Chain A
Amino acid sequence: MANLIDIKDLHASINGREILKGIDLTVNEGEVHAIMGPNGSGKSTLSAVLAGKENYTVTGGSVTYMGKNLLEMQPEERSWAGIFLGFQYPVEIPGVTNVNFMKTAVNEHRKHNNLPPLSAAEYLKLMREKLAIVEMDPAFSSRGVNVGFSGGEKKRNEIFQMAMLDPRLAILDETDSGLDVDALRIVANGVNKLKKSTNATIVITHYQRLLDYIVPDIVHVLYKGRIIKSAGKELALEVEKRGYDWLINEIQ
């Protein structure tokens, strides 16, 4: 299994406050990693830093993605290279329709791979195929991006976009937050359908519930900007039962 991403001693801060204090994480092709941790432990910061959000400053360490220095790449370059961030709070873009948004994104990816843009018919075919993965009505495509979408629709839209862009490494930030049981099942099924031996997923979550559907190979617990424990999927069950305190006590 080839190595996809290698994070070494990553430090990052926002407004001068250090949030990530030395993250080490390696993800290989075909793997599903889960990152759990109490509020404020740095889970969302880690995903934002990997996607290239500008208000975070990397103050130390390195991130190598498919042999390249990820930290030097612009957010769009990371996307072209196969990184996908599923947002905890998907952004609403009034006035830009879902279809226009995704068509532009898909064609920018194609341009980067020296492929001609998709014709309207080709795009529609691809779109319908991918909408089906998350059981979304094609009527969504003519609406503004995430505008007036329910919590569940927004998250399904994230997984639809992931399906359209076919990433190598998907980072799903709290994709389960705000979902009822049915939406959770649909979203998780979508992620599972997209799983291949050549891609990998990092699932960031508060709860074990999502991991019943998306079964991780490795579970990490993040606390105060560091990974304090990594183990198999049974770690998630233990966290669900006992909380984080016993782990925190263990390191102290």
Chain B
Amino acid sequence: MKNYIYTPRADYFKCRVPLKEAHQAFVVDGQLQQDENSALQRGENGKGYNVVFKRNMHAGQILQIISVRSHDLENTLEYKNSITVEENSEASLLLCFHTFTMNGFETKEELDIDIAQSGRLDLIIMQNEHNKSCHNTAINITMGRDAICKIHVITLHGGKIGNEINIALNGKGGECNLHGLYLAGGKQEISNRVNIYHNAGECKSNQLFKGILDGEAITRFSGTIYVEKGAQKTEAYQANNNLLASDGATAYTKPHLEIYADDVKCSHGATIGSLNEDELFYMRSRGISLDEAKLLQQQAFANATIEDIANSELRERLTSLVESRLRGEFSDCEKCDRHCC
């Protein structure tokens, strides 16, 4: 069990305590740092990483890959990563995105994930950069027969964050659960574009994306579910709920279903609302100040997206990070002493 404070370089991660059950690896400006985990290899041209979870392997530790942008690189960084979950293998991954430079930067990243027959992937993505960052991530997932994946995409902070998630359910019995939480304030822009392709029958997909917007933030959610002609007995659900905490924020949402099979259960729902006045008054009448009442309501709203995270230590840390973020404690990265993930 590792429980030390790990810093690949002196000026990074001054206060990082790893999760108890995690193996940490670092990607600095797209370069995978020396790592003893043999499953993890450098990618094309030495950039990014490839990781393979071998057949019949059971998830022990969480593999945590922490990607940071430093002040050494000012250009746009582009790289590709891949994750392969072989047949009947079980993988648990936590991908964290941070920055240790206050300069503006742009990152374009692709992540290809293949989950073979009966493979299981638990993937948590935590995006925590700063107001001048611009980060586009394209995640392409293909799933085989009876494969299961559970994904959480949590966007805590970033200038302009774009996530495109394409999931192809290519074998019968596949199941994918996708939860997203985006917290946007100031002039931040966060967009999530999700395409789920039900190419085979008897698969299930379930999406829940929630956003809390403050300041003049703009968020976009567009979700499409395609159900192919032969994909009978498909169950596909999608929900996007947005909470506007200020008058200047804008949330766009575009749910979309394209169904070519006739024996399916599909639904989509999108809402944009504001804080509930009756709940706020009830809390205030008990002596909970207005700010604290708003926070409780926002936490309750956000919690539905993270409460099903299996690892309790990680769930608690994320809950506390969400609270700090909602309290506005991330506005100054230089003074940040959070343990993040």
Contact = CB atoms under 8 A, between A and B. Distances in A.
The answer to whether A and B come from one shared complex is: yes
B290 A79 contact: no
Contacts of B289: 76, 108
Contacts of A105: 283, 286-288
Contacts of A91: 278-279, 281-282
Contacts, number: 73
Contacts of B303: 95
B301 A95 contact: yes
A93 B290 contact: no
Interface stretch (B6-14, B18-26, B167-175, B292-300): B292-300
B304 interface: yes
Interface residues of A, number: 31
A101 B281 contact: no
Contacts of A101: 283, 286, 288, 296
A75 B278 CA distance: 12
B278 A161 contact: no
Given A93-B282, A165-B287, A104 B297 contact: no
B312 interface: no
Mostly helix, strand, loop or mixed at chain B's interface?
Answer: helix
Interface residues on B, range: 20 to 34
A161 B286 CA distance: 8
A14 to B, nearest CB: 14
A75 B296 contact: no
B233 interface: no
A90 interface: yes
Interface string A94-126: 111000111011001100100000000000000
Interface in A46-96: 51-54, 74-76, 78-80, 84-85, 87, 90-91, 93-96
Given A91-B278, A91-B279, A96 B285 contact: no
A175 B283 CA distance: 18
Given A93-B300, A95-B304, A96-B297, A104 B281 contact: no
23 contacts: A51-B285, A52-B285, A53-B281, A54-B281, A76-B284, A76-B289, A76-B290, A79-B285, A79-B287, A85-B285, A87-B282, A91-B281, A93-B296, A93-B300, A94-B300, A96-B297, A100-B296, A101-B283, A104-B292, A105-B283, A105-B288, A108-B289, A112-B287
